[in-house]
Amino acid sequence: MFNPLQSSELAEWLPQVARLSAAAGEAVLEIYRKPEIQVTTKVDPVGQDGEERLSPLTAADLAAHHLILQGLKDLTPGIPVLSEEAADIPYAERQHWGQFWLVDPLDGTQEFLQRNGQFTVNIALVEEGIPILGVVHAPVLHLTYTAARELGAYRGDTRIHTCPYTGGSLKVVASRSHANPKTEQFLKQLQSRYGPLEVSSLGSSLKFCRVAEGSAHLYPRFGPTMEWDTAAAQCVVEQAGGSVTNLQGDPLRYNKPDLHNPPFMVAAAAGLWQELLI
């Protein structure tokens, strides 16, 4: 059993987690600024298709991971941490977690390696499968998005809200590094319904944040993602008034036996896409 966290606790922790994400961002930047970045590979968790996949791993991932892990243990010693760089905790243990921290120390490693600045540090607090606190920090861009249950969502010190579609060009944000035919087909369906689209490409969780701050209406994602890729940004979107759901319209949930996410939609408001998938 566990006691649900109160808004006063979240309000106390949120600025501390934001500072921790900024410190992790500085650790990432130390490596980002080096003339050469050493890259190794790691084996990702096996998905339902049973296929083994490799992804890049840098010293920046590990430096941010260790810093965040220690910082969260100091802040909340009784709450476990699941990080992309330490994700081999069996479900038999995880299933008993009422609350846990879910961390992506470097979301957008491809963007990091391409040096385009579109990568983030993501830290989320999950309670009973629901992200109730989230911080998304983009160190190169000097942007930090924060949110917590009943406390709203912020870009820096400015409160943000989604901007529901009311006509004109539908603004869609898409993945820079993970475009696929399903996404292209869906964009064509959107265009047939709404007319010419304004489509922009971004890396990492910044796509969610564009919807949360009202500069985009929709972010469709059909390619593979993991739970740590989305939890913090989902909290930001939801507290800004938007939604992050699977293709059946149900909110994404966390700490599943399989840590892969299903395909999902990030929307400023309901009704922009559901009829196109029937």
pTM for this model (two decimals): 0.93
DSSP 257: S
**Radius of gyration, CA atoms only, the chain:** 18
- Per-residue model confidence as pLDDT tens for the chain (278 residues): 578 999 999 999 999 999 999 999 999 999 999 988 888 777 766 555 555 566 788 899 999 999 999 999 999 999 999 999 999 999 999 999 999 999 999 999 889 999 999 999 999 999 999 999 999 999 999 999 999 999 999 999 999 999 999 989 999 999 866 668 899 999 999 999 999 999 999 989 999 999 999 999 999 999 899 999 999 999 999 999 999 999 999 999 999 999 999 999 999 987 788 877 65
The answer to whether the beta carbons of residues 193 and 147 sit under 8 Å apart is no
What tokens does 84 get? 């992309």
Other C-beta atoms closer than 10 Å to the C-beta of 26 total 14
The answer to whether the beta carbons of residues 239 and 10 sit under 8 Å apart is no
Query: What are the residues facing 199 on neighbouring strands?
Result: 172
**Which has the closest alpha carbon to 122: 100, 154, 151, 144?**
144
Q: Checking DSSP bridges between strand 130-138 and strand 143-148, what pairing results, if any?
A: antiparallel
Domains detected in the chain = 7-159 (3.30.540.10), 170-277 (3.40.190.80)
